[in-house]
Structure 1
Amino acid sequence: MHNAKHQYLPLILSLALLAACSGTPPSDGLTSTGSRAEVFEPGVPGGITQETERISAVVRAIDPVKRTFVLEDEQGNRQTFHAIPEMRNFPQLAVGDRVNAVVTQERVVQLREPGQPAGNGAAGMVAGAPEGAKPGVLMADTVELTAKVKVIDTLNHTATLEFADGSRRVVRVRPDIELRNEYLNQEVVIRVTTAMAIRVEKP
C-alpha cells in the first residue's frame, strides 16, 4: 500500500554494521501481522535478516475520480489509499473486494573485503495485473548503501559509520562481535531487497 521502494531507508541506515535488530515500520491505521528471521555466524560481522508483513482488508469505499479507495480490516480500522499508476485495472475494483498485501524485506549486511567489486546501487521492478483482471501489483526493489567504519567504541560496543554524503551514524554492534582496530576504514555494505505483492479477491 505504501511506496515500497524507499520507505525503509531510515531503517536501513540504523541497521548498518551488524546492528542487533529493528522491527518493520507499522502500517498506518490497518492491523498487520508479521514474522522475522535472522541468519548470522557468531563472531563474524554481517548477517541476513528477513521480515514479512501481511495485511488483509476489505474495500469499503471507492472514489474513481481521485483514484482512492478505503480499506477496513477485521478490527474495524480504516485507511484511505491512492491507487498508483501501475494499478491500471483500478476501475475493476469494487466495494466488498478483499485486498491482501504482503511485504517481504531481506537485509544483508557485510564488511566488504578489499578489492571486492561494488554493486550497481539500486534496481527495481514494478508489474501490474493483466488488462481486464482484478487489480494487483508486484513490486521489487533493491537498494545498496555503503559506509566506512570511522570510530570504534569498545566501551559502549558501538561503531560510527560515515556514508558517502559525509553524514555519520553511531550504531550498536552485536554482542558476539569483537571490535577490532582492523575494522577501521573498512567498507560496510547494506543491501536491502524489498518485495511487495498486492492481490485483490472477490468476496
Structure 2
Amino acid sequence: MRNSKLIVVAALVALTNTGFAQTEPKVGVTSTPGKVTVTGTIKTKSTVVGIEPGTRTVWLKDEKGKVVQLVVGEEARNFDQLKLGDVVTAEYTQALTVTLKKGGAPLAAKQNETLERAPAGAKPGGTAAREVTVMAVVTAVNTHSGVVTLKGPQGNSVDIVVQDPEQLKLIKKGDHMEVVYNEAVAVSVEPEAK
C-alpha cells in the first residue's frame, strides 16, 4: 500500500505550510494478511520572538533561525499568557489503517472529534483529534495493475494500489474494506528556559 504511505507523507508535508518549522517526518508501515497500517509523525519546536495582541499574531523562530508568522484563532485560550522567549512544541500524527472484511458488513461512514484546551490562566496549548471510519465494498480487482476499486456508502468510488501481491490475492470483488483515518495534534507552550 505504498500509495497510502504517499498520501500520509503528502499530508504531513502539508503541515509545513501551517508555519511551523518541522523535523523530518517519521513514517512507518505495518502489514499483516488483510491489514495495512501507515503512520506518520512530525514534531516541531519554535521560540516566540514576536507577539501582536491586537491581531492575535505570533512570530515563531525555529532552531534553524527561520521566522514564521501565525494568526492564533479565538478558540485558543490564554493568548495573553504568551511571552517572548516561550517555547512552542507541536506534534502532528496521522494514521491510516485498511482492513479486509470478509462477510460483508454494511456500508457506513462515521467521524469522531475531540478537542481539549488548556485550562483558563495557563499557557496556551491543547490537543485535537479526529477519527474517520468508512466501510466500503470492493467493486473491482485488477490483478495485473494491482488496482482495487472501492465504493463508499455515498456511492463514490476510489481506486487504491495494492503493491503487495500476497495482499492482493486476498481481495475479491464483493469483499468489504474498513478504512480508518486518524489525525491528532498536540501543542504546548513552555516558559523561556532561564
Same fold, TM-score > 0.5, yes or no: yes
- Structure 1 spans left out of the alignment, 5+ residues: 1-14
Post-superposition offset of 1:91? 0.9
- Equivalent residue letter for 1:145: V
State percent identity of aligned pairs. Answer: 26
1:137 alignment partner in structure 2: 126
Q: Tell whether the 8 Å contact from 2:107 to 2:135 is kept in structure 1 after alignment.
A: no
Residue correspondence of structure 1 range 105-124 to structure 2 within 5 A: 105-114=94-103, 116=105, 121-124=110-113
Q: CA separation in 2, counterparts of 1:181 and 1:200?
A: 47
Q: Tell whether the 8 Å contact from 1:31 to 1:77 is kept in structure 2 after alignment.
A: no
Match of 2:24 among 10, 33, 36: 33
Post-superposition offset of 1:114? 2.5
TM-score, length basis structure 1: 0.79
Which gives a bigger RCO, structure 1 or 2 (Cα 8 Å, sep 6+)?
Answer: 1
Q: Deviations over 1:6-47 (max 9, x none)?
A: xxxxxxxxx7xx855221421125232322222221xx2222
Q: Deviations over 1:151-200 (max 9, x none)?
A: 21111111122233433322210323353596213222211222211010
Post-superposition offset of 1:57? 0.8
Q: Tell whether the 8 Å contact from 1:61 to 1:95 is kept in structure 2 after alignment.
A: yes
Q: Residues 150 and 118 of structure 1: is their aligned pair in 2 closer, same or farther, counting only changes over 3 Å?
A: closer
User: In the comparison of the two structures, how many residue pairs are matched?
Assistant: 185
TM superposition outliers: structure 1 runs of 4+ over 6 Å = 117-120
Post-superposition offset of 1:136? 0.7
Q: Residues 89 and 178 of structure 1: is their aligned pair in 2 closer, same or farther, counting only changes over 3 Å?
A: closer
Q: Residues 87 and 188 of structure 1: is their aligned pair in 2 closer, same or farther, counting only changes over 3 Å?
A: same
1:76 lines up with 2:65 in the alignment: yes
Greater helix content? 2
- Equivalent residue letter for 1:82: V
Greater mean deviation of Cα atoms: 175-184 or 82-91:
175-184
Q: CA separation in 2, counterparts of 1:93 and 1:168?
A: 46
- Equivalent residue letter for 2:30: V
Greater strand content? 2
TM-score, length basis structure 2: 0.82
- Equivalent residue letter for 2:112: A
- Structure 2 spans left out of the alignment, 5+ residues: none
| Backbone CA RMSD of aligned residues | 2.5
